């Protein structure tokens, strides 16, 4: 079964994305740019560009948007052989706009094909044959059946000795914080790699006291990768704490893909055999490059581009 499964597997909802050109507000836009996005598929694309064998699966509508997403992922080198196109539900949609200089996202994903995923949709051998399973809190927020699907996928992975990575990806437009806490904190306790942001931890643990949060994280078996803590990333690993500064971004254009870019770099580093600290250094580069172009995943770098920056080599423009 090993030969049939990619090294890294993730799953969730990908949506068609529409946004006005030139950072305009939706109500004043006369045209919209089309793309797609989703935390898990963004991570899959990033890992594929870094040379990692990666698969993404989920449910999409058997509609133009679903076909567009599958074709694009396949074109990026992501295995989509386990993705499903539903004739009974549509692909989710999201719209992004700029309101008073700040980003606003509007979801149209209720009753989408992805929200109807169920544990019986999982290909268990596919998960068992991988080297790393990555799941997010977004999928768990979509529906009760999605929540059960994530829990079952993690159970399959753990039974097979496959490490589990978990990014809470807290989205308060999808569920209230009280419900999120009840679901995400137990999931963090099952993970081997836990990748929260500092802002998320303050909401989940109901405190901004770093020492208290650090003590809570130390209770987990997971290696915790805390993003955006004082312009650096904190790695907590079996009682040891390392801090890695952000890799500078030359030209910040769109911050939406930063977290997924970071995650793709970290997971790729782990699959490539790097230590957690080395993987975070790679993640800092991929996260930095991800924000320098418009879109959720378009600016994610190739391994050559990321390695060049890790090595400190000068960029040759012409």
Active site residues: 260
Write the DSSP symbol of residue 79: B
Tokens of 142: 């979509």
List, in order, residues 6 or more apart from 283 with CB less than 8 Å away: 225, 233, 261, 262, 263, 264, 265, 266, 269
Place of tokens 């978990």: 166
10 Å Cβ neighbour count for 109? 20
Which letter, b or e, does each residue of 178-197 get, where b requires 16 or more Cβ atoms within 10 Å of its Cβ?
Answer: eebbebbeebbebbbbbbbb
Angle between helices 198-205 and 177-190 (to 10 degrees): 110
10 Å Cβ neighbour count for 2? 10
């Amino acid at each position: 079964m090993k030969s049939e499964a990619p090294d890294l597997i993730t799953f969730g909802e990908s949506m068609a994305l529409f946004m006005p050109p030139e950072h305009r507000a939706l109500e004043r836009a006369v045209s919209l740019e089309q793309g797609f996005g989703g935390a898990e598929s963004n991570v899959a694309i990033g890992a594929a560009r870094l040379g990692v064998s990666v698969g993404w699966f989920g449910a999409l509508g058997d509609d133009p948007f679903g076909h567009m997403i599958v074709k694009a992922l396949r074109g990026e080198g992501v295995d989509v052989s386990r993705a499903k196109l539903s004739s009974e539900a549509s692909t989710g949609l999201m719209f992004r706009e700029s309101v008073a200089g700040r980003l606003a996202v509007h979801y149209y994903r209720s009753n989408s094909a992805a929200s109807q995923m169920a544990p019986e949709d999982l290909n268990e051998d596919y998960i068992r044959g991988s080297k790393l399973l990555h799941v997010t809190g977004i999928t768990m927020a979509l529906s009760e059946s999605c929540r059960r699907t994530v829990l079952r996928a993690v159970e399959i992975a753990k039974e097979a000795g496959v490490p589990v990575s978990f990014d809470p990806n807290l989205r308060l437009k999808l569920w209230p914080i009280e419900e999120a806490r009840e679901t995400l904190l137990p999931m963090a306790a099952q993970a081997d790699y836990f990748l929260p942001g500092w802002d998320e931890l303050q909401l989940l643990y109901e405190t901004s006291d770093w020492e208290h949060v650090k003590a809570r994280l130390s209770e987990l078996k997971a290696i915790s990768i805390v993003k955006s803590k004082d312009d650096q990333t904190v790695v907590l690993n079996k009682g040891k704490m390392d801090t890695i500064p952000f890799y500078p971004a030359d030209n910040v254009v769109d911050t939406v893909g930063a977290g997924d870019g970071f995650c793709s770099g970290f997971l790729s580093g782990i699959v490539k055999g790097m230590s957690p600290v080395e993987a975070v250094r790679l993640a800092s580069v991929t996260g930095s490059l991800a924000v320098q172009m418009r879109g959720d995943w378009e600016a994610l770098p190739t391994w050559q581009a990321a390695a060049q920056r890790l090595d400190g080599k000068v960029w040759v423009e012409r």
